[in-house]
């Protein structure tokens, strides 16, 4: 179990804020990449380790609240979410074009990829919900030494928790949905698979209630989960499969692919080969 001391000592002060630290005593071995995430919610603290998969909830007490208040006078102040209107989009800078080409993205449609005005090391990935409505932007920082790597901006409060959908109308569907962890993997699979499939990028390793409801409405026959092959992705994939099987009708087949590489790193020929092997709609 994750130690209470480790959670309380490193917890953020603001509601909905999150910190991440090395997980001391991690069952999966020494953690040097700060894989223990700690989030403050209304009634306490949530902790989850992306290395070993352990999680723990600690309810707030007056003693803990006093401790947080002494350390930070702004304690319990809700963190303001980031909104899409705060981002000024512009043409793709050269760094962004090189980054996209490194992942075999050869076309740069404005509907999906933009630069960020005044930031030549960033690329803005516009994402849409299952109804083809633009609901947010995920900004990728291309400088390795600058953190965080990704920052997500939502169009409005109702859009929070949305994933990035690349799908067609129901009447033109193969019945197959592939769920990925990141935006480029979903984009590549949607564009390079044959026969065509629908894809969804979670923009992380968690399946939100909002996305779960959207999946249920789309009438898919087969759902495949293809997350990154690191510890967080492996653990997240199993959790997502469990959630889908619990929530969806048993007539929908849910499969964890467990492929040992990321979709966005595959060549177009490799993706076409995989799509024929796994996602052929004839089998539906």
What confidence tens digit (pLDDT) does each residue in 80-139 have? Answer: 678 888 899 999 999 999 999 999 998 888 899 999 999 989 999 999 999 899 999 999
Per-residue model confidence as pLDDT tens digits over 252-262: 999 999 888 89
Residue at a domain's end among 71, 96, 129:
71
Domain of 48?
4-71
- Indicate the pTM of the whole model: 0.70
> Which residues does 21 contact at the CB level (< 8 Å), separation at least 6?
6, 10, 34, 36, 38
243, two tokens: 């959630």
Decide if 77 is inside a domain: no
User: How much is the average pLDDT of 209-229?
Assistant: 90
Q: Which residues pair with 89 in a beta bridge?
A: 116
Looking at the fold, whether 119 and 167 belong to one and the same domain comes out as yes
User: How much is the average pLDDT of 229-236?
Assistant: 91
Cβ(254)–Cβ(241) below 8 Å: yes
Per-residue model confidence as pLDDT tens digits over 144-165: 777 789 999 999 988 988 999 9
Decide if 79 is inside a domain: no
Q: Which residue has the higher pLDDT, 170 or 162?
A: 162
Decide if 164 is inside a domain: yes
Residue 77: which pLDDT band, with cuts at 50, 70 and 90? very low
Q: Which helix (H) or strand (E) holds 187?
A: helix 183-192
Decide if 76 is inside a domain: no
User: What span, in angstroms and rounded, lies between the C-alpha atoms of 170 and 272?
Assistant: 22
Distances, alpha carbon 161 to alpha carbons 128, 206, 210, in Å: 12, 10, 6
User: How much is the average pLDDT of 200-223?
Assistant: 90
Lowest mean per-residue pLDDT among 8-22, 51-65, 263-277 = 51-65
């Amino acid at each position: 179990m994750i130690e209470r001391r480790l959670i309380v000592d490193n917890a953020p002060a603001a509601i909905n804020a999150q910190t991440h630290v090395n997980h001391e005593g991690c069952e999966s071995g020494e953690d040097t990449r700060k894989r223990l995430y700690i989030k403050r919610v209304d009634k306490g603290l949530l902790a989850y380790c992306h290395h070993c998969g352990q999680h723990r909830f600690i309810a707030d007490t007056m003693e803990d609240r006093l401790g947080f208040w002494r350390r930070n006078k702004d304690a319990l102040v809700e963190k303001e979410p980031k909104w899409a209107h705060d981002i000024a989009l512009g043409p793709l800078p050269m760094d962004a074009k090189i980054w996209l080409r490194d992942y075999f993205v050869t076309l740069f449609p404005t509907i999906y990829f933009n630069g960020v005005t005044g930031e030549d090391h960033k690329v803005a990935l516009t994402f849409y919900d299952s109804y083809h409505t633009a609901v947010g932007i995920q900004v990728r920082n291309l400088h390795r030494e600058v953190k965080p790597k990704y920052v997500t901006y939502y169009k409005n409060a109702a859009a929070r928790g949305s994933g990035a959908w690349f799908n067609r109308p129901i009447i033109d569907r193969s019945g197959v949905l592939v769920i990925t962890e990141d935006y480029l993997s979903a984009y590549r699979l949607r564009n390079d698979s044959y026969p065509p499939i629908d894809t969804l990028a979670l923009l992380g390793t968690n399946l939100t209630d909002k996305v779960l409801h959207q999946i249920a409405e789309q009438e898919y026959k087969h759902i495949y989960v293809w997350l990154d092959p690191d510890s967080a992705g492996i653990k997240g994939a199993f959790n997502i499969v469990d959630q889908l099987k619990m929530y969806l009708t048993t007539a929908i087949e849910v499969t964890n692919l467990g492929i040992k590489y990321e979709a966005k790193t595959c060549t177009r020929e490799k993706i076409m080969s995989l799509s024929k092997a796994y996602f052929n709609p004839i089998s539906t």
